[in-house]
Amino acid sequence: MKIIFATHNEGKVKEIKEIFAGLPVEVVSAEEAGIHEDPIEDGKTFEENAAKKVKFVAEKLKEKEWVLADDSGICIAALHGAPGVRSARWAGEGASGVQIAAYTLEKMKDVPEDKRSAYFQCAMVLLSPEGESFSFFGRVDGTITMEPHGEAHPKLPYDAIFIPKDQQKAFTELSPELKNLISHRGRAMQFVKEFLVQRGLAV
């Protein structure tokens, strides 16, 4: 089975391939499928943006394929749920991962340690070759650190400043196996895997 993953984010592609390891599924990024453009992500929810991505990629493919997209972000209580769906553009267009993390910490410089709760939310939309759509969700609660821990991937900027619940380390400091097990994207992906196996598509 082949799935086109509607992203140009190498960090996400790496995570998805690791999560799918062991299943007879070939994951191909949008870039590898010859699609270099991105849709306008102006949805009000993570699910709306994920749906826009799968539809955009599906329409540009020469042959009909399974297409998967995710939209995810971090919601911080002390910032009234921000940055939310604007997580990637929170510090301005073109900001680096280090800049986004620094901008977030600056916004929270006066927030005490016991008031820094946050959660990562992920919505995944899987589109069949026939145009049928399926949605899956994952969430992980945690806290925002006082300073960066380790070095985050350029496209996963919040990993350096987020410590998941029941852990003592930030996402950047966890092994890929543990992160994929407990992360918002990992949890949503588990639901996708279960769906594919139950449907007899990845056995």
Positions annotated as catalytic residues are 71
Taking the C-alpha atoms of residue 70 and residue 85, their distance in angstroms, rounded to an integer, is 12
Do residues 74 and 119 lie in contact, with contact meaning Cβ atoms separated by under 8 Å? Answer: yes
Q: Which residues of 143-164 are buried (b: 16+ CB within 10 A; e: fewer)?
A: bbbeebbeebbebbbbbbbbbb
Q: Let me know: does 85 contact 45? Beta carbons within 8 Å.
A: yes
Q: CA–CA separation, 187 vs 57, rounded Å?
A: 24
Please calculate the CA angle 61-65-70 and round it to the nearest 5 degrees.
90
